Amino acid sequence: AMWSMLGAKPVDAFYWESFGKGWYSDCKTHLKIPESELKEYSADYGHLPDMTQANPDHDVLFTFNGTTSGVRVPNCDWVSDDRTGLTFCDATSAAFAMDIPWNKIDVLTYSWQKVLGGEGAHGVL
């Protein structure tokens, strides 16, 4: 989804563990989003970055629950109801296990294998 939906607006990438950092790296290295259009918000392993820094006019990337750290976003109150940017959420470890505030999420991904114990190689958008 990032390859076809990012680029029209600046991007705010929030991460605190390896999977979220992978999305940031994809934006920087593969999608080549200019540094002036890509804001990095990170925190030490086991801690959340300041999610309230999300700009409602930017597209936002974040992981709902850090699989490796176990640190999760407690809520999505920081996502503006009046946003013009899209909110992308990696919910691989959150889908079917945590309450997802669907009115705050525009694009959500997870894998069958991780959350439902199904076969590998299938992702859901």
State both tokens at 9: 């607006």
What whole-number distance in Å separates Cα of residue 1 and Cα of residue 6?
8
Residue range(s) defining the domain that contains residue 39: 2-124
In terms of pTM, does the model score above 0.75? Answer: yes
* CATH number of the domain bearing residue 119: 3.40.640.10
Count: domains in the chain: 1
> pLDDT for 27-58, tens place per residue?
999 999 999 999 999 999 889 999 999 999 99
The per-residue pLDDT for 114 is 60
Question: What single-letter DSSP state applies at residue 36?
Answer: G
